[in-house]
Amino acid sequence: MLRVAGRERLSVVQAYRFALDLTPRQERAVLAHAGAARVAHNWALARVKAVMDQRAAERTYGIDEVDLTPTRGWSLPALRRAWNQAKVEVAPWWAECSKEAFNTGLDALARGLKNWSDSRTGKRAGRRVGFPRFKSRRRSTPSVRFTTGAIRVEPDRRHVVLPRLGRLKLHESARKLARRLEAGTARVVSATVRRDGGRWYVSFTCAVQRVQGVPACPDAMVGVDLGVSHLAVLSTGEVEPNPRHLDVAARRMRRLARRVSRRVGPDRRTGRRGSMRWERARVRLGRAHARVAHLRRDGLHKLTTRLAREYGTIVVEDLNVAGMLANRRLARSVADAGFAELRRQLAYKAGWNGGRLVVADRWYPSSKTCSSCGVVKTKLALSERIYTCTLCGLVLDRDVNAARNLAALAVTVAGSGSETRNGRGADRKTPLAGLVAVKRQPGTATAGNTGTVPPQGRTSNHEHTHAS
């Protein structure tokens, strides 16, 4: 971390993504490189899987471990050495593509095998990672990554140069990246060309020196209560509506999906390829899905950027999104809202702007706690959209009350990092006595304060999210 004119510079990894306007010849070249990556990936996976299957079969024969077929390394250097020895026989056309194309497939396999191995041995947290699968030409997303060679933005800022692909035209100006490259505050690490929704994009991964910003209100704290009926409700009373991009486009997407089903599609059993009309219908459906994703991403970026630039401390909930997706009535709306993406963006944008993100405990009762007196209700039905306190008489919108509790929680949480957890070990139990209340002065912290609500008096904060 460097200091420039009294302000700190942050060393971050940042990506710049631009749409491409490729000619038919350039598109065929990019597809050839993506196909080369797929071939290398499938060849190396078949090689590794054959050895593993052979060793498993030998164990069933009672062969000792020392006498089994020798294992083969699946690290990237080991896979690369094996590919270089076999590429003349496996891919006689290997010289037509850049070496980075084959390295893309081998690197993806090496990372996939490592994640699978770490997940099996307990070194990797989270959900179990499955064994890598072979990539299909029709179902896999064409992608190729370049890490060496000529990677630059042309002076006109409308073209980029990539190894073996040459000069590619951009659909938009790359001035944001070009300015940083010219100023020496960014260095291109890699460039990835990928097809998404029928369109090609190039993404530059850069090591950037950013001047750490200062929020407009460094001492201000805001609680963000996420929901479905409203995307976010702030403790200030501001309500961010949920645009529901997927619901808006659902009718058109259903019509396009029916059109695809009526066309003559591919058949793997007979080797039949899809008709041109099926291909055109499939592309239209893919563009409709991509448009929904782009609109959702754009809205989340605007909201998170505004919050990170305005407030010094932002408090959000540690939502169990995977559990919410198990509810078939809410899964579609929860997935369309993008809760996890919103929190991910807040995490790094708060650090860029000199702020702090506080993640409330998953079982912190933000909905059941009165934001005025600190009383905690034993039960709060999902249908109760107005919070009414039986002790102090507070009548407030349920989501606004939860957001105020989240904002007050930041007072009791220490930490100076860009993302801080309260880490108080809350559980999902609510006191059976009914109410736990401690009178406090106006303006003080709510249920997160020591002596206000004991740790055993907390329950899930998902009630208001499910019903929002």
Residues annotated as part of the active site = 225, 317, 399
Q: How many CB atoms lie within 10 A of CB 187?
A: 11
- Dihedral sign, Cα of residue 121, residue 130, residue 33, residue 287: negative
Is the CB of residue 371 less than 8 Å from the CB of residue 396?
Answer: yes
Q: Which residues contact 293 (CB under 8 A, 6 or more apart)?
A: 197
Q: Which residues contact 376 (CB under 8 A, 6 or more apart)?
A: 365, 368, 369, 370, 430, 431, 435, 436, 437, 447, 453, 457, 458, 459
Q: Return the closest-CA partner of residue 378 out of 443, 460, 322.
A: 460
Residue with tokens 């709306």: 333
- Dihedral sign, Cα of residue 104, residue 106, residue 108, residue 114: negative
| Amino acid at position 204, single letter | F
Q: For residues 168 and 98, what is the distance between their CA atoms, to the nearest angstrom?
A: 16
Q: Return the closest-CA partner of residue 377 out of 432, 322, 426.
A: 432
